[in-house]
Amino acid sequence: MFSFSKMQGAGNDFVVIDIMKNQFEYSLPVLSQFLCDRHYGVGADGVILLDKSETQDFKMKIFNSDGSEAEMCGNGIRCLAKYVFEKGLTDKTEFFVETLAGAKKVELELEHKKVVSVKVNMGSPEVDCIKYMIEIEEKQYYVYPVSLGNPHAVCFVKNVEDFEVEKVGPILENYKYFPDKTNVEFVEIVDKHNMKVRVWERGVGETNACGTGACASCMIAIKEKFAESDVIVDLKGGSLKIYFDKESQEMILEGGAEFVFDGQMEMM
C-alpha cells in the first residue's frame, strides 16, 4: 500500500509519490506504465517520485507514461514544489530540486499560505546552430534542435490548431537525427510576446502542456527574432509565462500547479 497525489500543471497531469521515508521496491518503469494508464490505473502523463537529495533540498525523478525516465519536466517540477510546501515538507519559499538535468531553483508565490504560482529557473538552453529540413509526404518541415536537459525539436507552423500533430509528431520524435528520440513543439507566432504551442511529448504523445517545451519554443523564437525576451505561451491546457535573461542566458518559467486528489493504492 502506498499513498499518492494526483496533480496537474497547465493540464499536464502527474501521479506524485513521496519515497523519502520508505524503501520503494517496485519496478519504476512498470509501475509508471500502470499508474499512467487512464483505463486501469490512476491516469496521468507521468509519475513523479519525491526523494532525498545529498546535494539539494529535494530530488525529483520523473517517468513518462511509456515507462521511460525523463531528465526534466517544467510542469512536473512546479507540481513537486507545491506538493512539498503544502504537505509541510518545507517552509522555504525558495529552494533547489535535484534533477537529471541538474539542480533547479524554484520560487513560490503564496496567497493565504497556499502556492498559487511557481517560478523555475530552467537554466541556459543548449541551442545548435543548425536546423533540419525533414520531408514527410512531399511536405517540408524545418525543425530546430534545442536542449533544456532533455531534447526538443521546434517546428514553426502557420495554424497550430489545424495542424496534424498526431501524424507528424511521432515521425519527428523518432527521426534519425534524434537517436534518443525527442519532444516536438509545433509553434505558431501570434506576435513578439505571444505564441501558441502544441506538444508531441517523447514517450507520451500529445499532451496539454510541456514546460521545457514552452521554453525551447521561446528560445528558438527569440534566436530567430520572432519574439522578444518575455513571452506568454498558450498551450492546450493553459498559459505559461517565459522570461529570457539575456545577461545570464537563463530562462525563467512561471505558472500554476494544482492538486486534483489524494489516494492510496495496493499493488498485487
* Active-site residue list: 73, 210
CA atoms within 13 A on the CB side of 21: 5
User: In this structure, how many other beta carbons lie within 10 angstroms of the beta carbon of residue 162?
Assistant: 9
The torsion angles phi and psi of 67, rounded to 5 degrees, stand at 95, -5
- How many whole angstroms separate alpha carbon 222 and alpha carbon 61? 30
Region of 242 (left: φ > 0; alpha: ψ -120 to 50; beta: rest) is: beta
**Inter-CA distances, 22 with 25, 52, 124, Å:** 9, 11, 35
CA nearest to 176, candidates 132, 210, 207: 132
Which residues partner with 120 through β-bridges?
106, 253
The DSSP H or E segment spanning 206 is: strand 205-207
Single-letter amino acid code for the residue at 185:
E
Q: Give me 114's grid cell.
A: 497556499
